[in-house]
DNA sequence: CAATTTTAAGATAAAATAGTATGAAATCTT
DNA sequence: AAGATTTCATACTATTTTATCTTAAAATTG
């Protein structure tokens, strides 16, 4: 049950690194993060662009530039990060992948699947970056899959 | 949030077709199912092999051969079908895809993710093929994604 | 024995995902 | 102002996964 794409996981790990290792408001060099977490620099760069556009990160170009959280980590939910990196329709998919599935023509799994997705979304909404940062296991952040 | 592979979805749709359209114990021609549901015959064939090996389906070769449910649909859970077609480790994966994540070295999402997977699994366990068959929307079964 | 139908394994193709390359724009240092 | 640094943006390539097709074998029927 692979739920998140690699890009999304990279983004999450990187955000957790920033939250747990760096002072708030300090611009962190992307190259440093990529080396520290063993993630391709250019790939991470792309992921960060989406997070910057969404207002989760703030960026600064030029020497000593980098990225930093644009808001306190308490105000960034896991849901927002995932929706940004996986697409806003993340929670809208039918379990059986049927395009026409919906209130009007529900698939046999529609009812319970919709309830289940709502629960999951709520859980993701109430989990903030700060919450996750607190639970972090620093050694593990850098270990890939 | 794509959770199931196409093979798994095909298998489910095909099982639902058998349950809802055919008398119990009657061998159904695989080619017929593949044409009726617009699924590649050979692909479906492979999927059915797994279901047969698992004892969900029973098969019969030769003229008028085919597949039929090996057990009453009340006794086949959605969980069993999914575990068969997606692999037995379906519910064991870390949200962040970290190989080392577990009780000993939990990732920041470990706790709630494990609870969530358990719930989902329970839901899948108590949903039977018969339950789903009852909710079926015949036209929709054949529409692809 | 000939026709039919599932089983099985391997090759091929298509799609999705991941990663790379390049150059432009912004900012800093001198 | 010039040159260095660093993010931004887009386009391209490679890899992996998923899906499909090909071929041939085994079982069953008539």
Name the residue closest to D29, CA to C1': B63
**For residue A103, which residues of chain B lie inside 8 Å, CB to CB?**
none
At what angle are helices B78-86 and B6-21 packed, to 10 degrees? 140
Q: Is the pTM value of this prediction over 0.85?
A: yes
The per-residue pLDDT for A18 is: 94
Q: Is B102 helix (H, G, I), strand (E, B) or coil?
A: coil
Question: Which two structure tokens, joined as six digits, stand for A34?
Answer: 């990529």
Domain ranges of chain A: 6-87+128-139
Do the beta carbons of residue A11 and residue A52 sit within 8 Å?
no
Closest among A145, A7, A142, A37 to B93, alpha carbons compared: A145
- pLDDT tens, residue by residue, B51-77: 999 999 999 998 889 999 999 999 999
d(C-alpha A38, C-alpha A19), whole Å? 17
Max CA separation in chain B (angstroms)? 57
- pLDDT tens, residue by residue, A25-74: 999 999 999 988 889 999 999 999 999 999 999 999 989 899 999 999 99
> Where does chain A have alpha helices with state H?
6-21, 30-37, 41-53, 78-86, 110-125, 129-134, 138-142
Band (pLDDT 50/70/90 cuts) for residue B143 is very low
Band (pLDDT 50/70/90 cuts) for residue A140 is low
Q: Which nucleotide is closest, CA of A63 to its C1'?
A: D5
CB atoms within 10 A of CB A60: 11
Do the beta carbons of residue B136 and residue B16 sit within 8 Å?
yes
What chain B residue is nearest to A119 in terms of C-alpha separation? B116
Mean pLDDT of B16-32: 92
Yes or no: is domain A6-87+128-139 CATH 3.30.300.30?
no
Band (pLDDT 50/70/90 cuts) for residue B115 is very high
Distance from CA of A62 to the nearest CA of B (A): 32
């Amino acid at each position: 049950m692979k739920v998140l794409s690699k890009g999304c996981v990279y983004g999450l790990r990187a955000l957790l690194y920033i939250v747990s290792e760096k002072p708030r408001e300090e611009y962190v060099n992307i190259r440093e993060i990529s080396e520290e977490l063993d993630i391709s620099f250019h790939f991470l760069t792309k992921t960060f662009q989406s997070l910057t556009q969404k207002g989760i990160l703030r960026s600064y170009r030029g020497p000593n530039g980098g990225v930093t959280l644009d808001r306190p980590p308490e105000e960034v939910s896991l849901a927002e990060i995932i929706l940004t990196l996986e697409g806003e329709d993340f929670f809208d998919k039918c379990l059986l992948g049927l395009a026409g599935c919906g209130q009007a023509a529900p698939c046999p799994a529609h009812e319970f699947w919709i309830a289940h997705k709502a629960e999951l979304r709520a859980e993701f909404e109430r989990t903030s970056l700060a919450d996750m940062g607190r639970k972090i296991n620093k050694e593990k952040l850098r270990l890939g899959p």
